[in-house]
Amino acid sequence: MLEVVVDGLACHVPEGTSILEAAKSVGVRIPTLCHHPWLERTARCGVCVVEVDGKSELVTACDHVVETGMVVHTATGRVMERRRGVVSFLLAQHPRECLVCERRPYCELKRLGDELGVRARRLPVKRQRLSVDRTGQAITRDPNKCVMCGRCVAACKRMHDMTPYRAMSDEIAESDLLVERSGATALVSEEWASCRSFAFEDRMCDTDCVECGQCVVACPTGALSERQEIVKVRRSLADRSLVTVVQTAPAMRATIAEAWGMPAGAVSTGKMVAALRKLGFDRVFDTAFGADLTAVEEAHELKERLEKGGRLPMFTSCCPAWVRFVERECPGVVPHLSTCKSPHMMAGAMARAVLNELEGVRPEAVYVVSMMPCTAKKFEAERLASLCETGSTGGAGIRDVDAVLTTRELIRFIQSVEMDFHSLKESGFDAPLGRASGGGTIFGTTGGVMEAALRALADELGADFGVATGRGDATGAIPVAGLPGPGVSEAKVKIGDLTLSVAVVQGLAAARRILDQVASGGRPYDFVEVMACPGGCVGGGGQPIVRESLERSIETRGAALCGIDGSLGERRPRKNPAVAEVYRRFLGEVGGARASELLHDHARLAVEGGAQ
């Protein structure tokens, strides 16, 4: 252990610890803009400078490791002057849109300006006005708000081993060299502004981005944001000719209250439902019920493939970023995807069918809004609408889901009407799509889809299941709640006389390894769950942004969902009385013609059918 002194406080830290980490260990916070707990040490922004005894120049705390006997000063006059200079420059380049910027509650640049007392734009910098890129289906890029920190590129590289913003990656490297040559104050040059201009030459629609939203979460400003649909939803609520239906994803019940000061993992299902009713929605359904349907149908499909020699391994299809990745990068593996729609698409199709049959509401008069922790759900809704000539309910042009709002959008929506979230009286979901099992609830966390589907398969086979062996990131049981980083957990599962080899995968980088094996004709597993985001949907790209203890927050959110699962009387999707009733009254047999019409992706059904 090395002994160092930070602002007069002695601390003992391991060799290789950065000054930033050493300061944090004794409660000294050093401000930074480019640093992210999951990403490489970058030192691009120059905000985290400190003074070290014996060094004539200021050093950046995030990438300089401590040395024995080092004495560090984090708030001297010279340090504060440099930080203010860097932040002043960045603010001078920045658009004056703070009042309307979607990132306002989470903007790290604004927070830094407030902390450092930077109020005026003192630097005479001529700002370039670059066009906003709205060509993505789920994500909007505004280069005018970019500070060239590189966190978006690093986040995508970490989770997916992808670099969709290739021009940005190249220009960030060039800006690094510029800072290295001249120091942070040299950023007031036109050369730096040119770097930023070139970085955004690639349009979103021309990249291989899967729009999972992890870049949005990593971005410290409003340069990246989800495509906004609040206005669209407001218009539907004002149209009294429509029956407005809203559904909420399982992961949201353990995250939405964070916006009102509650800790990560605080469960606020009842207040969230009450808020949606107060916003004016006619019906509030639970996407966890759709997850129950997904588990039942997916388990049946796996059973059919095992018995009839279908394509194995079968991959789950709940994560739209993952599905998009397979369709683009490995189209030959598409027949291995489950043909099941994701839970919110199933719930949207069912909402129209149920309201039509029970209340005589025409399908086209039903407007379905999904509240999701995921940005990719936005393009998923568009994808199914464009791929199918007719909607799932049989009417031309009728979609399963009309609009998708992220958790952050829902929070802004509630706050925009000045609703007091804490004072709301708890409310429950509407029948018949409002009662979910524990299995449906844990769809929101890593391994939950696998766990729920295996429970449903065990019930279909009339047997219990257990994890025989597990390795990798597995802990001997599924789900692996809130596993924060990319990786693979695998296990052998016994269901009666059947033994299955299964895997739970986080991040497309880890999934790519399995895809390579499958593409070459191998069969490493029977059943694989893949989620693009850390911890699954609880760490989705549309969730509230956490500034500190990100990994711990995701783990806590996932653990909260597992806690709900353990507290419910019915944990098995197939034994959920509401699911049984819906099959009896509306769907018929599991995997039957009506279930196929409403709950399965017709495009993938055609591919799988042709492949077999």
CATH number at 12 reads 3.10.20.740
How confident is the model over 93-119, as pLDDT tens digits? Answer: 788 888 888 888 889 999 999 999 887
CA dist list (Å): 325 to 138, 223, 320, 329, 530 = 15, 24, 8, 6, 11
Closest CA to 220 of 372, 80, 90: 90
Q: Provide the 3-class DSSP secondary structure of residue 249.
A: coil
pLDDT at residue 478 in the model: 47
603 contacts: CB under 8 Å, gap ≥ 6: 387, 388
Give first-to-last CA distance, the chain, whole Å: 61
Under 8 Å between Cβ of 456 and 577: no
Q: Domain boundary at 75, 109, 135, which?
A: 75
Number of domains, the chain:
3
pLDDT at residue 41 in the model: 64
Question: pLDDT tier at 227 (50, 70, 90 boundaries)?
Answer: very high
Residues above pLDDT 70, as percent of the chain? 86
Closest CA to 324 of 20, 532, 14: 532
How does DSSP assign 264-296, residue by residue?
TT---HHHHHHHHHHHT-SEEEEHHHHHHHHHH
Residues 443 and 474 in one domain: yes
Residues 219 and 305 in one domain: no
pLDDT at residue 137 in the model: 92
Residues 110 and 21 in one domain: no
Q: Is the pLDDT of residue 544 over 50?
A: yes
Cα angle 155-157-158, degrees, rounded to a multiple of 5: 65
CA dist list (Å): 72 to 62, 312, 340 = 13, 58, 57
Sign of the dihedral defined by the CA atoms of residues 177, 183, 184, 187, in that order: negative
Q: Is the pLDDT of residue 482 over 90?
A: no
350 contacts: CB under 8 Å, gap ≥ 6: 290, 293, 433, 582, 586, 598, 599
Sign of the dihedral defined by the CA atoms of residues 333, 339, 341, 342, in that order: negative
Residues 277 and 197 in one domain: no
pTM (two decimals): 0.90
How confident is the model over 145-186, as pLDDT tens digits? Answer: 988 888 888 888 888 988 877 676 676 666 666 555 555 444
Residues 462 and 513 in one domain: yes
Q: Is the pLDDT of residue 383 over 80?
A: no
| Residue numbers of the domain that contains 11 | 2-75
Q: Is the pLDDT of residue 397 over 70?
A: no
Residues 214 and 312 in one domain: no
Residues 212 and 249 in one domain: no
Residues 441 and 475 in one domain: yes
CA distance 422 to 399: 35
Q: Which residue has the higher pLDDT, 591 or 63?
A: 591
Q: Look up residue 369 and give its DSSP letter.
A: E
How confident is the model over 320-345, as pLDDT tens digits? Answer: 999 999 999 999 999 999 999 999 99
Residues 280 and 394 in one domain: yes
Q: Look up residue 231 and give its DSSP letter.
A: H
Under 8 Å between Cβ of 297 and 595: yes
pLDDT, the chain, mean: 87
**What is the chain's Cα-based Rg?**
25
Closest CA to 546 of 266, 253, 263: 263
304's enclosing H/E stretch is: helix 287-308
Residues 43 and 115 in one domain: no
pLDDT at residue 596 in the model: 95
How does DSSP assign 392-427, residue by residue?
TTSSBT--S-SEEEEHHHHHHHHHHTT--GGGPPP-
How confident is the model over 31-48, as pLDDT tens digits? Answer: 988 888 776 666 677 889
**For residue 299, with 0-12 CB atoms within 10 Å meaning exposed, 13-18 middle and 19 or more buried, which class applies?**
buried
Q: What is the 3-state secondary structure (H, E, C) of 98-110?
A: CCCCCCHHHCHHH
Under 8 Å between Cβ of 385 and 137: no
Q: Domain boundary at 75, 91, 117, which?
A: 75
pLDDT at residue 385 in the model: 64
pLDDT at residue 201 in the model: 73
Long-range CB pairs of 466-471, under 8 A, 24+ apart, other chains included: 466/493, 466/494, 467/491, 467/492, 467/493, 468/492, 468/493, 468/494, 468/499
Residues 391 and 270 in one domain: yes
Residues 406 and 364 in one domain: yes
Q: Domain boundary at 56, 75, 94, which?
A: 75
Give the CATH number of the domain where residue 354 resides: 3.40.50.1780
CA distance 445 to 483: 9
Q: Is the pLDDT of residue 86 over 70?
A: yes
